[in-house]
Amino acid sequence: MSQHISFVQREELKNKPSSDALGFGVHYTDHMFVMDYEEEQGWHDPRIIPYGPLTMDPAAMVFHYGQAIFEGLKAYTTPDGTVQLFRPDRNMKRFNQSCERLHIPTIDEDFLLNAIQQLLLKEKDWIPTEEGTSLYIRPYVFATEPFIGVRPSKQYKLLVILSPVGSYYGDQLSPVPIYVEEKYIRASVGGVGEVKTAGNYAASMKAQKEAEAKGYSQILWLDSKENKYVEEVGSMNIFFKINGEVVTPELSGSILNGVTRNSVIELLNYWGIPVREEKISIQEIFDAHARGELEEVFGAGTAVVISPVGELTWKDQTIQVNDKNIGPLSQRLYDTITGIQFGKTEDEFNWTVQVDEVRV
């Protein structure tokens, strides 16, 4: 796919937020990438245009039948002023896996990555440079055909929008309390839990709100069949360090194959720390804690990188992990992954991809 990407420059550029007021997902850059799909033409008319409102028919299928998928990755600035992406090939691949599962036409992965890079080139002044800040990249597709009937849409829109974001934690990692959900279910094997489709997140809102009301910052989901095996957390995969060994739920078909999860596993292997992907019951975790063997628990995802878990509540039991302190492995993983992402630690794995020509 080697279509030319057209460009329409915004007339008046926006004011950029100051780096201490970035937040997460509230500011968008001057331009966006857009492309359309029509059955006869396939994906066509790739363009970079001013960020601005979309015109949607009220019958557009996304509003009714929810065919919508997305990805999330970041662009990081390095000390020498280059800009880089972290394992973007994995996001491109998962983008298409999500498309396939939702019966949305896939797109050439190299083309999409190239489009993202071209958009980054245009928006290079938006890439924040303060410690811990980055430019969040959101590629997504949704159904636009105006048709009220349950079948796949024949028209879609693919967009990439960019949002400068602060560090999730400020300067310091801080362990969070997590609620083990036993009433609501996120996804089941045979469903769409292993892809990034809009409906998965919609389905999680109520449980998330109820947990927040009880004072928890996130939910740990259990499996739908037996309601006893650990799945994942909101927008993170989960890891447990028990008696010197690390375990994480296997890719069962109902959890996301996280880029950060995979990076953690590869780093642990490289460091010679035992790590296993397997079915893990929540009971085992509580048992390990009772034996004094639960050393660390942490989540892993693009937004937070590594998020130490300080407390786990399941039914009426609450356990504290590592006295609610940041564990040394969590810290080491956070430092190493962010070090590689921001070009401060040597990238022995070839995980980073330079965005050609961009210097900030």
Ligand X SMILES: Cc1ncc(COP(=O)(O)O)c(C=O)c1O
Binding site for its own copies (CB under 8 A): 24-26, 28, 32, 51-59, 62-68, 70, 100-103, 136, 138, 140, 142, 146-152, 159, 161, 163, 183-192, 197-206, 208-209, 224-225, 227, 234-235
148 binds, among ligand X, its own copies, none (CB under 5 to 8 A by kind): its own copies
- Least distance between its own copies and beta carbon 48 (Å): 13
C-alpha–C-alpha distance, residues 296 and 229, integer Å: 18
Rounded to the nearest 10 degrees, the angle between the axes of helix 88-101 and helix 259-271 is: 130
Give me the residue label for tokens 């069949």. Answer: 225
Cα–Cα–Cα angle for 74, 78, 82, rounded to 5 degrees: 90
C-alpha–C-alpha distance, residues 338 and 265, integer Å: 15
C-alpha–C-alpha distance, residues 102 and 80, integer Å: 41
237 binds, among its own copies, ligand X, none (CB under 5 to 8 A by kind): ligand X
What would the two tokens of residue 104 be?
A: 């949305």
What would the two tokens of residue 319 be?
A: 């356990």
Can you give the length of the chain in residues? 360
Q: Specify which residues 140 forms β-bridges with.
A: 70, 159
Q: Which phi and psi angles does 242 have, rounded to 5°?
A: -125, 120
- Least distance between ligand X and beta carbon 24 (Å): 13
- Least distance between ligand X and beta carbon 257 (Å): 8
| Residues binding ligand X (CB under 6 A) | 72, 196, 232, 235-237, 256, 258-261, 301-302
Residue number, 143 or 358, with CB nearest to its own copies: 143
17 binds, among its own copies, ligand X, none (CB under 5 to 8 A by kind): none
Residue number, 191 or 327, with CB nearest to its own copies: 191
- Least distance between its own copies and beta carbon 141 (Å): 9
Q: Are 352 and 345 in contact (CB under 8 A)?
A: no
58 binds, among its own copies, ligand X, none (CB under 5 to 8 A by kind): its own copies
169 binds, among ligand X, its own copies, none (CB under 5 to 8 A by kind): none
